[in-house]
Amino acid sequence: MSVLKLHAVLFDMDGLMLDTERIAQQAGMDACADHGYVMDRTLAMQLVGRNSRDTDQILAAHFGAGFDPLAVRERFKARYEAALFDGGLQTKPGLFELLDWLQRLNMPRAVATSTRHDMALRKLAHAGVQRYFEHVIGGDRVSRGKPEPDIFLAAAERLGVKPAHCVVLEDSEPGVQAALAAGMTPLMVPDLKAPSSALLAHGITVCNSLHAVMRHLSARCQLPL
Protein backbone atom coordinates (compact mmCIF):
# COMPACT_ATOMS: atom_id res chain seq x y z
CA MET A 1 0.00 0.00 0.00
CA SER A 2 1.50 3.35 -1.09
CA VAL A 3 1.86 6.11 1.48
CA LEU A 4 1.16 9.74 0.61
CA LYS A 5 3.16 12.45 2.32
CA LEU A 6 0.37 14.85 3.19
CA HIS A 7 1.13 18.53 3.83
CA ALA A 8 -2.26 20.15 3.09
CA VAL A 9 -5.91 19.37 2.38
CA LEU A 10 -7.83 21.45 -0.14
CA PHE A 11 -11.62 21.45 0.07
CA ASP A 12 -14.23 22.10 -2.54
CA MET A 13 -17.32 23.68 -0.98
CA ASP A 14 -20.71 23.09 -2.63
CA GLY A 15 -21.69 19.44 -2.72
CA LEU A 16 -18.61 18.46 -0.70
CA MET A 17 -18.94 20.39 2.55
CA LEU A 18 -22.30 22.07 2.02
CA ASP A 19 -25.40 20.23 0.84
CA THR A 20 -26.30 22.95 -1.65
CA GLU A 21 -26.17 21.44 -5.13
CA ARG A 22 -29.82 20.36 -5.23
CA ILE A 23 -30.86 23.83 -4.10
CA ALA A 24 -28.68 25.38 -6.81
CA GLN A 25 -30.10 23.13 -9.51
CA GLN A 26 -33.67 23.94 -8.60
CA ALA A 27 -32.90 27.65 -8.43
CA GLY A 28 -31.22 27.44 -11.83
CA MET A 29 -34.15 25.66 -13.44
CA ASP A 30 -36.60 28.12 -11.89
CA ALA A 31 -34.51 31.13 -12.99
CA CYS A 32 -34.42 29.85 -16.56
CA ALA A 33 -38.17 29.21 -16.47
CA ASP A 34 -38.73 32.78 -15.25
CA HIS A 35 -37.19 33.94 -18.54
CA GLY A 36 -38.96 31.39 -20.73
CA TYR A 37 -36.23 28.75 -20.99
CA VAL A 38 -36.38 25.08 -20.01
CA MET A 39 -33.35 23.71 -18.17
CA ASP A 40 -33.61 19.95 -17.86
CA ARG A 41 -31.60 17.77 -15.48
CA THR A 42 -29.09 16.82 -18.18
CA LEU A 43 -28.20 20.46 -18.77
CA ALA A 44 -28.21 21.18 -15.05
CA MET A 45 -25.68 18.39 -14.44
CA GLN A 46 -23.27 20.00 -16.89
CA LEU A 47 -23.06 23.00 -14.58
CA VAL A 48 -21.98 21.13 -11.44
CA GLY A 49 -18.53 22.29 -10.36
CA ARG A 50 -18.39 25.16 -12.87
CA ASN A 51 -17.79 28.82 -12.10
CA SER A 52 -20.23 31.55 -13.15
CA ARG A 53 -18.30 32.49 -16.30
CA ASP A 54 -18.29 28.93 -17.60
CA THR A 55 -21.94 28.47 -16.57
CA ASP A 56 -22.94 31.55 -18.59
CA GLN A 57 -21.07 30.21 -21.63
CA ILE A 58 -22.65 26.76 -21.38
CA LEU A 59 -26.16 28.18 -21.07
CA ALA A 60 -25.66 30.70 -23.87
CA ALA A 61 -24.37 27.98 -26.18
CA HIS A 62 -27.32 25.75 -25.32
CA PHE A 63 -30.12 28.32 -25.59
CA GLY A 64 -28.66 30.29 -28.49
CA ALA A 65 -29.23 33.84 -29.72
CA GLY A 66 -31.25 36.11 -27.47
CA PHE A 67 -30.31 34.36 -24.24
CA ASP A 68 -29.32 36.89 -21.55
CA PRO A 69 -26.92 35.18 -19.08
CA LEU A 70 -26.74 38.22 -16.80
CA ALA A 71 -30.50 38.46 -16.35
CA VAL A 72 -30.83 34.74 -15.66
CA ARG A 73 -27.89 34.81 -13.26
CA GLU A 74 -29.41 37.68 -11.29
CA ARG A 75 -32.69 35.80 -11.03
CA PHE A 76 -30.81 32.65 -9.99
CA LYS A 77 -28.94 34.58 -7.31
CA ALA A 78 -32.18 35.89 -5.82
CA ARG A 79 -33.83 32.46 -5.76
CA TYR A 80 -30.73 30.63 -4.55
CA GLU A 81 -29.89 32.98 -1.71
CA ALA A 82 -33.48 33.06 -0.51
CA ALA A 83 -33.52 29.26 -0.33
CA LEU A 84 -30.07 28.99 1.28
CA PHE A 85 -30.28 31.56 4.00
CA ASP A 86 -33.85 30.78 5.01
CA GLY A 87 -32.85 27.53 6.70
CA GLY A 88 -31.75 25.60 3.62
CA LEU A 89 -27.99 25.63 4.18
CA GLN A 90 -26.93 22.28 5.65
CA THR A 91 -23.48 20.73 6.09
CA LYS A 92 -22.57 17.24 4.94
CA PRO A 93 -22.40 14.45 7.54
CA GLY A 94 -18.93 14.06 9.01
CA LEU A 95 -17.70 17.53 8.05
CA PHE A 96 -17.05 18.85 11.54
CA GLU A 97 -15.45 15.59 12.67
CA LEU A 98 -13.06 15.75 9.71
CA LEU A 99 -12.25 19.43 10.21
CA ASP A 100 -11.69 19.01 13.95
CA TRP A 101 -9.37 16.07 13.29
CA LEU A 102 -7.32 17.99 10.72
CA GLN A 103 -7.16 20.96 13.06
CA ARG A 104 -5.79 18.78 15.86
CA LEU A 105 -3.09 17.62 13.44
CA ASN A 106 -2.29 21.25 12.55
CA MET A 107 -2.85 20.26 8.93
CA PRO A 108 -3.01 23.30 6.61
CA ARG A 109 -6.42 23.68 4.98
CA ALA A 110 -7.87 25.87 2.25
CA VAL A 111 -11.13 26.13 0.34
CA ALA A 112 -10.96 26.21 -3.46
CA THR A 113 -14.48 26.71 -4.80
CA SER A 114 -16.02 27.69 -8.12
CA THR A 115 -18.36 30.00 -6.18
CA ARG A 116 -17.37 33.66 -6.25
CA HIS A 117 -15.27 34.72 -3.29
CA ASP A 118 -17.73 36.97 -1.45
CA MET A 119 -20.54 34.43 -1.67
CA ALA A 120 -18.22 31.62 -0.56
CA LEU A 121 -17.25 33.54 2.57
CA ARG A 122 -20.89 34.23 3.33
CA LYS A 123 -21.90 30.58 2.99
CA LEU A 124 -18.95 29.29 5.00
CA ALA A 125 -19.62 31.77 7.79
CA HIS A 126 -23.33 30.93 7.82
CA ALA A 127 -22.49 27.22 8.08
CA GLY A 128 -19.99 27.82 10.89
CA VAL A 129 -16.95 26.42 9.09
CA GLN A 130 -15.02 29.48 7.88
CA ARG A 131 -12.90 29.50 11.03
CA TYR A 132 -11.31 26.18 10.04
CA PHE A 133 -9.61 27.54 6.92
CA GLU A 134 -6.51 29.65 6.44
CA HIS A 135 -7.49 30.68 2.93
CA VAL A 136 -10.62 30.74 0.79
CA ILE A 137 -10.22 31.12 -2.97
CA GLY A 138 -13.34 31.76 -5.03
CA GLY A 139 -13.81 31.02 -8.69
CA ASP A 140 -13.65 34.71 -9.53
CA ARG A 141 -10.08 34.90 -8.21
CA VAL A 142 -8.55 32.78 -11.00
CA SER A 143 -8.66 33.21 -14.77
CA ARG A 144 -9.69 29.63 -15.60
CA GLY A 145 -12.24 27.55 -13.74
CA LYS A 146 -12.35 23.83 -13.05
CA PRO A 147 -11.49 21.46 -14.79
CA GLU A 148 -8.40 23.64 -15.28
CA PRO A 149 -5.96 23.42 -12.35
CA ASP A 150 -5.61 27.15 -11.61
CA ILE A 151 -7.64 27.36 -8.41
CA PHE A 152 -5.92 24.41 -6.73
CA LEU A 153 -2.47 25.64 -7.72
CA ALA A 154 -3.36 29.04 -6.27
CA ALA A 155 -4.49 27.41 -3.02
CA ALA A 156 -1.29 25.39 -2.72
CA GLU A 157 0.76 28.53 -3.35
CA ARG A 158 -1.14 30.42 -0.65
CA LEU A 159 -0.40 27.61 1.82
CA GLY A 160 3.23 27.31 0.72
CA VAL A 161 2.82 23.61 -0.08
CA LYS A 162 3.96 21.67 -3.13
CA PRO A 163 1.07 20.38 -5.28
CA ALA A 164 2.31 16.79 -5.00
CA HIS A 165 1.79 16.95 -1.23
CA CYS A 166 -1.82 18.16 -1.45
CA VAL A 167 -4.97 16.08 -1.19
CA VAL A 168 -8.05 17.58 -2.81
CA LEU A 169 -11.55 16.70 -1.61
CA GLU A 170 -14.11 17.04 -4.40
CA ASP A 171 -17.61 15.91 -5.28
CA SER A 172 -17.65 16.84 -8.98
CA GLU A 173 -15.92 15.49 -12.06
CA PRO A 174 -14.57 18.90 -13.19
CA GLY A 175 -13.10 19.34 -9.72
CA VAL A 176 -11.38 15.95 -9.75
CA GLN A 177 -10.04 16.66 -13.24
CA ALA A 178 -8.67 19.98 -11.98
CA ALA A 179 -6.92 18.26 -9.06
CA LEU A 180 -5.34 15.71 -11.40
CA ALA A 181 -4.21 18.47 -13.75
CA ALA A 182 -2.62 20.25 -10.77
CA GLY A 183 -0.58 17.16 -9.91
CA MET A 184 -2.48 16.60 -6.66
CA THR A 185 -4.22 13.57 -5.17
CA PRO A 186 -8.01 13.80 -5.41
CA LEU A 187 -10.43 12.02 -3.13
CA MET A 188 -13.91 12.07 -4.62
CA VAL A 189 -17.03 12.11 -2.49
CA PRO A 190 -19.81 12.02 -5.12
CA ASP A 191 -22.90 14.09 -4.53
CA LEU A 192 -25.36 14.38 -7.42
CA LYS A 193 -23.46 12.36 -9.97
CA ALA A 194 -21.43 9.15 -9.78
CA PRO A 195 -17.94 9.27 -11.33
CA SER A 196 -17.74 8.31 -14.99
CA SER A 197 -15.80 5.30 -16.20
CA ALA A 198 -13.34 7.69 -17.86
CA LEU A 199 -12.66 9.38 -14.55
CA LEU A 200 -12.31 6.08 -12.70
CA ALA A 201 -9.74 5.02 -15.30
CA HIS A 202 -7.36 7.50 -13.64
CA GLY A 203 -7.36 5.27 -10.56
CA ILE A 204 -8.91 7.89 -8.28
CA THR A 205 -10.15 7.02 -4.82
CA VAL A 206 -13.90 7.36 -4.26
CA CYS A 207 -15.25 7.71 -0.72
CA ASN A 208 -18.92 7.45 0.14
CA SER A 209 -18.79 10.05 2.93
CA LEU A 210 -16.55 12.50 4.74
CA HIS A 211 -16.30 9.92 7.53
CA ALA A 212 -14.74 7.59 4.93
CA VAL A 213 -12.37 10.38 3.87
CA MET A 214 -11.05 10.64 7.42
CA ARG A 215 -10.54 6.88 7.63
CA HIS A 216 -8.75 6.86 4.28
CA LEU A 217 -6.42 9.72 5.16
CA SER A 218 -5.61 8.15 8.51
CA ALA A 219 -4.75 4.82 6.87
CA ARG A 220 -2.98 5.96 3.70
CA CYS A 221 -1.20 9.20 4.51
CA GLN A 222 1.99 10.08 6.35
CA LEU A 223 0.61 12.53 8.88
CA PRO A 224 2.44 15.04 11.09
CA LEU A 225 3.19 13.90 14.63
Catalytic residues: 12
The angle, 0 to 180 degrees and rounded to 10, between the axes of the packed helices 69-83 and 52-63 is 120
Residues, the chain: 225
- Considering just the CA atoms, what is the radius of gyration of the chain in Å? 17
Residue 5 main-chain phi, psi, to 5 deg: -80, 105
Evaluate whether 178 touches 148 at the Cβ level (below 8 Å). yes
Q: Any alpha helices (H) in 64-202, and if so which ranges?
A: 69-83, 95-104, 117-127, 150-159, 173-181, 197-200
CA atoms of 28 and 57, how far apart (whole Å): 14
